[in-house]
Amino acid sequence: MPARILNGNAIRDQIYSELSGEIAALSASGIRPGLAAVLVGENPASKIYVSSKIAATEKLGLASFNITPPATISTSELLAIVEDLNRRDDIDGILVQLPLPTQIDAKKILEAIDPAKDVDGFHPLNVGRLVAGRPNLVACTPLGVMEILRRSEIQIEGANAAVLGRSDIVGKPMALLLMHANATVTVCHSKTRNLPETVRRADIVIAAMGRTAMVTPDYIAPGATVIDVGINRVTDPAQAESIFAHLPERLASFRAKGSAVVGDVHPDVANIAGAITPVPGGVGPLTIAMLMSNTVRAARLRRGARISAAARS
């Protein structure tokens, strides 16, 4: 039986509906949460990501600020921009779109963001709070994966979970969130021995290696839940023929467009798994939804005293 499809767009819409109520309550207190997005240069993929984030803020009625310095900007000049955003009271969340140009010290920039406005959850203080089990603002993609699992009623407590990838942005925070939810977690990476055998023991598999269709059916136990974090563009016809060998409609679409978006999980895994996220339309929408959620949360935390005063008046 084909796997149950975990529809990220539907879950995103649930979250947006809930956020709308929170945003209305803040508005009644005279507060409009604001998100500043810093996009350095003209990276096409980054421009698409930022425009999607800005569109979401506008849909929800949040204030959005798009800062677009040139690709030639220096670390010190970008630090000055971040410091100005830190001081502004109308901005609750700051995100600096990665990757940054090579001349910029990205870690220095991310560490300069006020932790109370760090809606990407990358600041060492926020990472440390997550490690300690006292999370404040958490990385959006892992947070979105947890929403998918919980809202899809996937059993996390007591489950064996395999996280493929150990990045600071996805793999490490993902493992911590699963551990705090009482899963038994194995973090896999490029040096893991017997990788398919290790992953096959998992009830929940989170694929975030950044390798196109790497996770094939032999990695997956029958009935396991598979969350595909990968977003990879395929343009090679031979690779597309291999990946979509059993999906004539997707192969025809590839031939018509000359490209296709594929995750880290091979499409044939859907015939083995019990539940799976699609690419696109799975984790991606939740990453942006969690950015919106973090912005609203940051506004509530930063302005708590004023919200309480407005409620009493």
Point out the residues that are catalytic. Answer: 53, 97, 120
Neighbours of 74 (CB within 10 A): 13
DSSP the chain: -PPEE--HHHHHHHHHHHHHHHHHHHHHTT---EEEEE--TT-HHHHHHHHHHHHHHHHHT-EEEEE---TT--HHHHHHHHHHHHH-TT--EEEEPSSPPTTS-HHHHHHHS-GGGBTT--SHHHHHHHHTT--SS--HHHHHHHHHHHHTT---TT-EEEEE---TTTHHHHHHHHHHTT-EEEEE-TT-TTHHHHHHT-SEEEE-S--TT-B-GGGS-TT-EEEE---EEE--HHHHHHHTTT-HHHHHHHHHHS-EEE-SB-GGGGGT-SEE--SSSSHHHHHHHHHHHHHHHHHHHHTHHHHHHHHH-
Residue 135 and residue 115 in contact, taking contact as beta carbons nearer than 8 Å = no
Residue 131 tokens, joined: 């490690």
